[in-house]
Amino acid sequence: MSVPAAAPESSPPLPEATDNTASPASRLEQGEILFFPQLSFDLTPAEQALLNPDLVERKRKNISFDVQRERLSGVVDPDQQALTQQLLERYYHFSRQLVEELIPAYRGQLRQPTTSLRVHAIADWAQNSSWRKDDRRLHVDAFPSRPLHGDRILRVFSNINPKGQPRCWQVGEDFETLARRYLQRLRQPNPLHTWLLAQLKITKRRRSAYDHLMLQLHDCMKADGELQNGDSARPMAFPAGSTWICFSDQVAHAVSEGQFMLEQTVLLPIEAMEYPERSPLRVLERLTGRSLV
Ligand SMILES: [Fe+2]
């Protein structure tokens, strides 16, 4: 992996070169972003033609593909579905191979893959979003309808912008610092409420106390003007043609700029981690003094 040339002074800095003496698992699990400036995911000329906001159904943030069920969602034009699926399937194999080669211990442990193609410019999409869905606000990821019971959200991203525009993030303080900041405001779930959500199929299974805390943490962060307007976050620019990986349930992030990105999400049980004690579940259990799943 080579270190990229320095960005122009007016641009957000590229992600810093990290301590390469630590293992990729150790670096990821302590909340680093693994950045591969030269690792591009190349589109064929036909796939390039898909890069248009009109590809996705109105009101949808992205096109998504479930490789296990071979289910594609969000493409407006039936004539473009096969090519879009082929692109997303290729990206699934690319990102899975990348993670498994970097961290052989994760091989066979990655669950419920979802592949996404994002075609909207952040500014265009976010201006019509509620504050809760506005990814320009610093947050950690949590799924409202898919309770995780402590499983990690591991994400691979590739900037495929055809005009060379970077994808710009703000990256916040470490997970424990942020969790401590909001801990007093986080409430335990109401058992009747979580039962009802599952019965009504609003959630795919019953939310654990962990899921409830993570959703509140996500909301507290996005609603906190002091956090959003403060200077604790670092800007990072991911150039077109680069790839990066992080645990997005742990790395506080906000997207400030960019258009056209591929993203692979997989879940990882904490038992497969090299350092499970660094997981949000174990950190929150230590801070609250309670079992949360
Ligand atoms: Fe996010």
CA of 50 to the centre of ligand 1 (A): 24
3-state secondary structure of 230: coil
Has residue 180 been placed in a domain?
yes
Q: What is the model's pLDDT at position 6?
A: 35
Q: What is the model's pLDDT at position 224?
A: 95
User: Which 8-state DSSP code applies to residue 41?
Assistant: -
CA of 145 to the centre of ligand 1 (A): 15
CA of 155 to the centre of ligand 1 (A): 10
Task: Give the residue carrying structure tokens 């906190």.
Answer: 224
Picking from 249, 245, 257, 254, the residue whose alpha carbon sits closest to that of residue 278 is 249
pTM of the full structure: 0.91
User: Encoding tokens for residue 87?
Assistant: 């692109």
Q: What is the model's pLDDT at position 16?
A: 60
Q: What is the model's pLDDT at position 130?
A: 87
Has residue 16 been placed in a domain?
no
CA of 265 to the centre of ligand 1 (A): 11
Query: Measured in whole angstroms, how far is the alpha carbon of residue 184 from the centre of its chain?
Result: 26
CA of 169 to the centre of ligand 1 (A): 10
Q: What is the model's pLDDT at position 19?
A: 53
Structural domain count, the chain: 1
CA of 261 to the centre of ligand 1 (A): 13
Cα–Cα distance for residue pair 280/175, rounded to 1 Å: 7
- The tally of CA atoms less than 13 A away on the side-chain side of residue 50 is 30
Q: Which domain holds residue 130?
A: 24-288
Has residue 6 been placed in a domain?
no
Q: What is the model's pLDDT at position 293?
A: 94
Picking from 40, 255, 52, the residue whose alpha carbon sits closest to that of residue 159 is 40
Strands 152-159, 71-73: pairing kind:
unpaired
Has residue 114 been placed in a domain?
yes
CB burial class (10 A; 0-12, 13-18, 19+) of residue 40?
Answer: middle
pLDDT in tens, the chain (293 residues): 333 333 334 456 666 655 568 899 999 999 999 999 999 999 999 999 999 999 999 889 899 999 999 999 999 999 999 999 999 999 999 999 999 999 999 999 999 999 999 999 988 877 778 888 899 999 999 999 899 999 999 999 999 999 999 999 999 999 999 999 999 988 888 888 888 888 888 888 889 999 999 999 999 999 999 999 999 999 999 999 999 999 999 999 999 999 999 999 999 999 999 999 999 999 999 999 999 99
CA of 238 to the centre of ligand 1 (A): 15
Looking at residue 64, its amino acid is: S
Has residue 17 been placed in a domain?
no
CA of 79 to the centre of ligand 1 (A): 31
Give the Cα-Cα-Cα angle 57, 59, 62 (nearest 5 degrees). 65
CA of 140 to the centre of ligand 1 (A): 6
Q: What is the model's pLDDT at position 196?
A: 82
